[in-house]
Structure 1
Amino acid sequence: MGDSDIATLITLAFAGSVGMTFLVLACALPQHNWWPFFVVMFYIASPFPVLISRRYSDGSSSSSACHEFAVFLTTGIVISAFSLPVVLARAPSLAPVITWGSCGLILAANIVMFLTIVGFFIAFNSEDLSYNMW
């Protein structure tokens, strides 16, 4: 594991911690509640379709039906992560479920976290790495 791999890993860990800090702030600031934390389920679920499709692909072509369906599912998960806070902020009741400030922090957390996940796939996609079990 070279110095550039360690620097990449440290950068991705820092970006992930910044994203989670935004999410915790969305839950912990005054007049906010814990509902925004449900977005973590989308962070956990988003890499699985692509990881499963890589596991079961034949490797002969870069575009297969399995891979395209996995990208479709991942896109749906990412869009759901961005739409959940907006729906919670616009909930039709006397008082919305979350505030718009909390919604903004969640959207910022989503951007940082999904860019971190994409960065992980880009950084550790090569086949010559010994820890390429992802």
Structure 2
Amino acid sequence: MCVLFFYSCKNKTQQLLTKKWDCVNVDNLDLGNEPAAGLQDSINNQKIIAAMESLTWTFKDNHEYECSIAGRVTVQGSYGITEDGKTLVCTPSTKNSINSYYIQTLTENDLVLSSAPLVLHFKPH
């Protein structure tokens, strides 16, 4: 019975996650220059924020994902969800890194991921 419970939780998390998600907001983006030294720094910061907020992540049934910026795929790889359904682990196809995100919220209409200190808010595409 316990195994069935974990399987159904994982399956439910997988079902909710499997779709295309658009980033709508980024919190706690550390740009490393506090405060912006001048107009050019402010412009660069706004460009970085705009790029982050144009992220689209697509999670597929076969545990593969794609990350796009402005419609162009920049990263693809595989993903997994921990048994407790609270952590998303993404491994790019280059296998040069592993990125873990805490799943703060996952519903049909909201996905909020955090990787200290960054918090990413997504809505379905």
- Whether the TM-score (by the shorter chain) exceeds 0.5 is no
The TM-score normalised by the length of structure 2 is 0.29
Specify which structure has the higher proportion of strand: 2
The TM-score normalised by the length of structure 1 is 0.27
- From the CA coordinates, give the structure whose radius of gyration is larger: 1
Query: Larger RCO: Structure 1 or Structure 2 (Cα < 8 Å, ≥ 6 residues apart)?
Result: 1
